[in-house]
Chains A and B, each alone.
Chain A
């Protein structure tokens, strides 16, 4: 029973990582950028929700505005910081992404201070516990799993079945040929950033409900772990990001359950090192020679 309980914990944490990893993977898939500012979007999402609820406005509004805020922020970052570097070497883009990440963290610290703030998680998802035999399920867990499954289902439909999704796949495979099909490259790239950030916004809310505090560096480690998840799954691959997120979540929970919780982060990065050494393309990544 304890195994099942831990399995569910792993699913919960893993699905949050998966939601965030998707944004990394999709953006990498389309412009080959490791968007290290992606994690900090989550921090901003957390603060937006926190501040709106603190102002006495309904948590439902806070959740929606927070997700929209993440989406808009990502589009603005893409337009201001990344679009001008479209034809620049990839290393310039990467360094810019790291710069944007530091910028967001420091602006947050400047405005809101460095101290962690308590996230009103019970306002968003009330504390309710379900008992199934000896299994203990919180409403937060149920909502997290449901929201993650729903988001990923919507994403799959979006990417596989819609015109914009086909455009995204086409642009990520061959940008030159895609624009000759009449696809607006800039709009498609911005759309990809927006979708990734919306998923990160959902992840932000779920993460803050699980670990109810927000600080300017909240997104730092979370972003890196989601990055590891994306690499493990095969960066650029959408099902890979989902799988990688779940795997990292499970790994963390197993390490914690074995009583080595101080080693959790080390294990995650050990996984990164092993993946890069043994199978740098991850579970479902395209072979490197194809992506030129």
Chain B
């Protein structure tokens, strides 16, 4: 695995990405809820086609960071650069259009819509025909609709779900729902995909398949992936860089090897040796 190199912005980038704009960069990002500092001084840089991991104990602020990165929460401090563009003040839908997508820890599909329609919702910004065209069934509408459906089916076939296209999303088995959530996120055409505990509820065999899938997604779509995960086999197995969060702050950054050997990380997860309080 390649080495991480420090940037002037207090972030790290893989050696292969040093000469390119990072897909995603944050500088001293922070948010307070009331008096509580939920996240503070969070600086990372994620390069093109990098798979990065965000780990930390429960309540460390990992999901809050996903909400900050997608402008669902407005940061109290610091800034976010997506594709080199400062996203401050943008609406969530605008940030999504810049090229970020996410999945959820607890699956949030549109359960009463079909599998195909879920992916078509993801294609919302790709298919741009007017409402009158749709109602009058103008040729332009048919063309756009046909292209969108074909593209949606393509996404479904990549995730091996094309035979489920007309099933209701809520009726799918758990694993298929997880795959559909990723397919739907990919339909928004992101350059970075955020996965929130993708292996939650999976057995070791399913987790192994998921690891293969995550690599496949990166190679097929040429995107970067930032994932939150508690399954250390998965994180250590596929992430090229890892940031460890505790109490809203980064306590360690590095390659899997560096993280594994970092005493601060061991302490955050297992507590200090000798039973002393942190």
Q: Which residues in A have some Cβ–Cβ distance to B below 8 Å?
A: 154, 157-158, 161-167, 169-170, 173-174, 176-185, 286
CB contacts (< 8 Å) of B207 on chain A: these are none
Q: Which of B236-271 contact A (CB under 8 A)?
A: none
Complex Cα distance A184/B71, Å?
Answer: 13
Interface of A is mostly: helix
Contact of A163 with B129 in the complex, beta carbons under 8 Å: yes
Complex Cα distance A158/B131, Å?
Answer: 8
Complex Cα distance A93/B263, Å?
Answer: 53
Contact of B121 with A170 in the complex, beta carbons under 8 Å: yes
Contact of B101 with A180 in the complex, beta carbons under 8 Å: yes
The answer to whether B188 has its CB under 8 Å from any CB of chain A is yes
A43 to chain B, nearest CB (A): 27
CB contacts (< 8 Å) of A182 on chain B: these are 93, 96-97, 122, 124-125, 188
Partner among B101, B102, B124, B128 whose Cβ is within 8 Å of the Cβ of A167: B124
Cβ-closest chain B residue relative to A186: B91
Stretch touching chain A among B14-22, B111-119, B211-219, B227-235: B111-119
CB contacts (< 8 Å) of B178 on chain A: these are none
Complex Cα distance A255/B93, Å?
Answer: 51
Contact of A183 with B124 in the complex, beta carbons under 8 Å: yes
Q: List 15 A-B contacts (CB under 8 A).
A: A157-B134, A158-B134, A161-B145, A163-B129, A166-B120, A167-B124, A169-B112, A173-B110, A177-B108, A179-B72, A179-B92, A180-B92, A181-B187, A182-B96, A182-B188
Partner among A162, A163, A169, A180 whose Cβ is within 8 Å of the Cβ of B113: A169
Contact of B117 with A166 in the complex, beta carbons under 8 Å: yes
Contact of A180 with B124 in the complex, beta carbons under 8 Å: no
A238 to chain B, nearest CB (A): 12
Tell me whether A177 and B135 are in contact in the complex, defined as CB-CB below 8 angstroms, given that A163-B124, A183-B93, A184-B93 are known contacts: no
Complex Cα distance A174/B184, Å?
Answer: 14
Listed residue (B120, B121, B134, B185) with the most chain A CB atoms within 10 angstroms of its CB: B121
